């Protein structure tokens, strides 16, 4: 990932303090971050923000992360955007469902900051490789 190229991340999280923490962390590491408080807000953000990656909670009001991701993957213009779930829903069936709807990674809360960063970088490097190759 080239340092001079700022990568865009859409963070969809209903818990204000988690949204603020993750947003600050990603911004500190050179990412351009837009936040949304639920899946509906996230879909609205996609109208004028083209992220390289979306990090979404699973359990949210109005439109949950799974339904949001299904909608994302059904739209030609957003289908290729990778998704990482960051959620408290840690049972194996939820994890399987998350991967099945198209998430690249499923990170459970409480999470390690280093784990989030390493997965974000891994997805973005992989996405960069697909664009070039």
CATH code of 38's domain:
3.40.50.2300
* 62 in a structural domain: yes
What pLDDT band is residue 4 in, cutting at 50, 70 and 90? very low
Residue 32 lies in a domain: yes
pTM of the model: 0.92
Domain range enclosing 19: 8-127
In the chain, how many domains are there?
A: 1
Residue 46 domain-assigned?
yes
Answer whether residue 3 is part of any domain: no
pLDDT tens for each residue of 24-44? 999 999 999 999 999 999 999
Instruction: Establish if 133 belongs to a structural domain.
Output: no
Q: Which residues of 116-132 are buried (b: 16+ CB within 10 A; e: fewer)?
A: beebbeebbeebeeeee
């Amino acid at each position: 990932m080239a340092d001079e190229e700022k990568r865009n991340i859409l963070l969809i999280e209903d818990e204000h303090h988690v949204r603020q923490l993750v947003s600050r962390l990603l911004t500190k590491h050179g990412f351009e971050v837009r936040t949304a408080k639920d899946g509906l807000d996230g879909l609205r953000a996609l109208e004028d923000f083209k992220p390289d990656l979306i990090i979404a909670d699973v359990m949210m009001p109005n439109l949950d992360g799974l339904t949001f991701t299904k909608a994302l993957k059904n739209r030609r213009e957003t289908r290729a955007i990778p998704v990482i779930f960051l959620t408290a829903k840690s049972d194996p069936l939820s994890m399987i469902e998350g991967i099945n709807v198209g998430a690249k990674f499923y990170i459970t809360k409480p999470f390690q900051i280093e784990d989030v960063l390493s997965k974000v970088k891994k997805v973005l490097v992989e996405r960069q490789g697909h664009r070039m190759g």
